[in-house]
């Protein structure tokens, strides 16, 4: 039976303020326009400050933006365990460069393992275009699932005894575990497999235009060593080059219910946090904030030192400049971003072939690429969920939810803010509450602290939080940009691209939580019920 102690009684008492009256007041009283200082570019390329007047969105328009991007899915698994996923996004760029994906893969019982599911939840934070993030939304989870399938269902070695396989075994020796733990239950092997899936996928992304160019050169039979084929109108040209030139960070959570393991793989500066309910001896409790990833930027000194160590001595001073790779790219790990991975000579050839010589120039300090990698850091935790492990039902710590989000959210909210806001939301809070009062009703403690890799904005230190959204992802975005201050929220959402990027980034959030013993309720809910996608 699900223990309800994690839901504070205060959730039924917190109806402080009436959102409807706030909306009415601000929509009637505040002006329909507002002035903002913005940067413009003159015809001669000089930047200058000027004042622009923008239309102020109405409350109704703001609410429509939240609802249009909010998705909730509920999946009922055997035994009555219900997995819920809520995703919401808000654009700053036009179009939004974020993306998200999810999948549930049902595992068959094997000789070495029980039945269960692999649940995948991914967030992608694109930059320099949508091409890489959109491609990852379709390919990242399948790529990782395919690699993991080799651990869950190892190939039959009796059928792999060809000479080629034997040669490969010498080049790529199979990792042998020093224990009797099955491969898919060994966190080290699973983590390594996820890393390999990320790096192989990035190799495909950055290698595709090179292979296409080589193929067209072979077809031409041109003997001129300086000949470069024209691929600007090739039917596959744009699809090959654009995902390599743009870039994307990505964070992926993999929940293995059969082995009761949680893995988070992070490439870049997205972040994942877990809310763990810790029950006290008196029946009360608090939320422990577990940060499951590190911000991978040049401002993270550990990351900066890693990047420097991978380059010759005479190149190290230029590798990280002002917290950015070669003074340009903020994340030190990303998919695509081939400008930081290809040599200058290769970029010049590809620019001529695919872009007619109009490809964005490579960084001036580029000497010994690659400077950026897609290889993720993978963290592991045990899935502290009583329904998956009856023998741990007496444990006082239970993982209740995960939050994955692009850095636009973490620019505005701390990990502690996010856990408290989601904890209050799942407890049924309604209305608004002063920010200084929330810790009284939703106490938190720090487990694993965040490694801050960016210079955070977080300007809204005072004011009140708002609990008005059904979708917990939309709930977090609202509170990141204004909370119960409806005028501030309307103003933030009214700033159009590209001016909005000075004030807020694209934001995409996925919240995952589970419930037990609610089969009837889940079957009659209005949520979109998602079925398992495939089997491993």
Take residue 345 and report the two structure tokens written for it.
């000579």
With contact defined as beta carbons under 8 Å apart, do 296 and 302 qualify? no
Domain assignments of the chain as residue spans, ordered by start: 9-153+182-296+331-337+372-530
**Mean per-residue pLDDT, 131-149:** 97
- pLDDT band for position 457 (cuts 50, 70, 90): low
pLDDT of residue 49: 95
pLDDT of residue 103: 97
pLDDT of residue 224: 85
Query: Would you say residue 2 has pLDDT above 60?
Result: no
Give the model confidence (pLDDT) of 36-68 as tens digits: 999 999 998 899 999 999 999 999 999 999 999
Least trusted range by pLDDT, from 134-138, 205-209, 285-289, 388-392: 388-392
Identify the CATH number of the domain defined by range 9-153+182-296+331-337+372-530: 3.60.40.10
Query: Would you say residue 455 has pLDDT above 60?
Result: yes
Q: Who wins on pLDDT, 210 or 385?
A: 210
Give the model confidence (pLDDT) of 393-436 as tens digits: 556 889 999 999 999 999 999 999 999 999 999 999 999 999 99
Average pLDDT, the chain: 87
Closest CA to 513 of 13, 87, 32, 210: 87
Query: Would you say residue 20 has pLDDT above 80?
Result: no
**Mean per-residue pLDDT, 453-474:** 83
Query: Would you say residue 320 has pLDDT above 50?
Result: yes
Query: Would you say residue 75 has pLDDT above 80?
Result: yes
Query: Would you say residue 91 has pLDDT above 90?
Result: yes
With contact defined as beta carbons under 8 Å apart, do 406 and 223 qualify? no
Query: Would you say residue 123 has pLDDT above 90?
Result: yes
| Burial of residue 367, with CB atoms counted within 10 A of its CB: 0-12 exposed, 13-18 middle, 19 or more buried | middle
pLDDT of residue 112: 67
pLDDT of residue 454: 76
With contact defined as beta carbons under 8 Å apart, do 289 and 444 qualify? yes
pLDDT of residue 176: 42
What angle, rounded to 10 degrees, do the helices at 486-494 and 472-481 form? Answer: 90
- pLDDT band for position 156 (cuts 50, 70, 90): low
> Which DSSP symbol is given to 423?
H
Query: Would you say residue 461 has pLDDT above 90?
Result: no
Query: Would you say residue 530 has pLDDT above 60?
Result: no
- pLDDT band for position 388 (cuts 50, 70, 90): confident
Q: Model pTM?
A: 0.88
Give the model confidence (pLDDT) of 105-121 as tens digits: 998 776 667 889 999 99
pLDDT of residue 7: 55
Torsion angle of C-alpha atoms 298, 240, 364, 332, degrees rounded to 10: 10
pLDDT of residue 452: 84
**Mean per-residue pLDDT, 360-388:** 94
pLDDT of residue 223: 81
Phi/psi zone of residue 397: left (φ > 0), alpha (ψ -120 to 50 degrees), beta?
Answer: beta
Query: Would you say residue 161 has pLDDT above 50?
Result: no
**Phi and psi at residue 455, in whole multiples of 5°?**
-85, 105
- pLDDT band for position 284 (cuts 50, 70, 90): confident
With contact defined as beta carbons under 8 Å apart, do 77 and 530 qualify? no
pLDDT of residue 109: 72
> CA 34, CA 28: separation in Å to the nearest integer?
15
Pairing assessment for the beta strands 71-76 and 528-529 based on DSSP bridges: parallel
Least trusted range by pLDDT, from 153-162, 255-264, 310-319, 522-531: 522-531
With contact defined as beta carbons under 8 Å apart, do 493 and 65 qualify? yes
Q: Beta-carbon neighbour count of residue 395 at 10 Å?
A: 13
Residue with tokens 């035994």: 79
**Mean per-residue pLDDT, 64-89:** 94
Give the model confidence (pLDDT) of 61-72 as tens digits: 999 999 999 999
């Amino acid at each position: 039976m699900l223990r309800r102690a994690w839901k504070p009684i205060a959730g039924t008492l917190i109806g402080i303020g009436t959102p409807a009256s706030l909306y009415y007041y601000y929509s009637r009283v505040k002006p329909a326009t507002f002035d903002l200082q913005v940067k413009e570019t003159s015809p001669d390329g000089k930047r200058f400050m000027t004042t622009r007047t923008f239309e102020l969105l109405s409350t109704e328009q703001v609410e429509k933006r939240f609802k249009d991007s909010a998705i909730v899915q509920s999946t009922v698994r055997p035994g009555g365990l219900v997995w819920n996923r809520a995703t919401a996004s808000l654009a700053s760029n036009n179009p939004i460069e974020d993306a998200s994906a999810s999948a549930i893969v049902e595992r068959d019982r094997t000789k070495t393992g029980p039945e269960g599911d692999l649940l995948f939840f991914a967030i992608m934070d694109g930059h320099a275009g949508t091409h890489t993030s959109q491609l990852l939304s379709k390919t990242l989870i399948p790529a990782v699932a395919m690699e993991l399938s080799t651990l869950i269902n190892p190939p039959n070695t009796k059928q792999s005894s060809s000479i080629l396989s034997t040669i490969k075994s010498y080049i790529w020796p199979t990792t042998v575990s020093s224990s009797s733990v099955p491969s898919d239950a060994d966190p080290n092997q699973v983590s390594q497999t996820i890393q390999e899936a990320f790096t192989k996928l990035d190799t495909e992304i950055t290698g595709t235009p090179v292979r296409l160019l080589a193929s067209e050169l072979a077809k031409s039979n041109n003997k001129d060593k300086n000949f470069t084929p024209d691929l600007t109108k090739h039917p596959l040209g744009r699809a090959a080059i654009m995902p390599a030139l743009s870039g994307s960070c990505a964070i992926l959570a993999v929940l293995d219910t059969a082995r009761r393991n949680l893995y988070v793989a992070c490439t870049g500066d997205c972040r994942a946090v877990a809310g763990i309910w810790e029950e006290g001896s008196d029946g009360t409790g608090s939320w422990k904030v577990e940060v499951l990833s590190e911000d991978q930027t040049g401002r993270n000194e550990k990351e900066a030192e890693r990047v420097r160590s991978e380059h010759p001595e005479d190149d190290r001073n230029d590798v990280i400049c002002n917290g950015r790779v070669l003074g340009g790219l903020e994340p030190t790990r990303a998919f695509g971003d081939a400008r930081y991975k290809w040599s200058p000579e290769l970029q010049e050839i590809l620019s001529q072939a695919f872009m007619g010589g109009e490809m964005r120039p490579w960084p001036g300090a580029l000497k010994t690429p690659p400077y950026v990698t897609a290889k993720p850091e993978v963290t592991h935790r045990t899935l502290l969920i009583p329904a998956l492990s009856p023998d741990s039902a007496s444990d006082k710590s239970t993982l209740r939810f995960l939050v994955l989000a692009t850095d636009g959210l973490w620019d505005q909210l701390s990990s502690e803010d996010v856990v408290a806001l989601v904890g209050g939301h799942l407890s049924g809070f309604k209305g608004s509450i002063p920010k200084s009062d929330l810790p009284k009703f939703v106490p938190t403690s720090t487990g694993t602290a965040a490694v801050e890799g960016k210079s955070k904005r977080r300007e809204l230190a005072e004011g009140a939080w708002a609990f008005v959204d059904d979708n917990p992802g939309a709930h977090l975005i609202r509170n990141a940009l204004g909370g119960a201050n409806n005028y501030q929220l309307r103003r933030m959402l009214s700033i159009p691209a590209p001016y909005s990027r000075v004030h807020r980034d694209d934001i995409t959030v996925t919240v995952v939580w589970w419930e037990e013993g609610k089969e009837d309720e889940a079957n009659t809910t209005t949520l979109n019920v998602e079925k398992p996608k495939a089997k491993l």
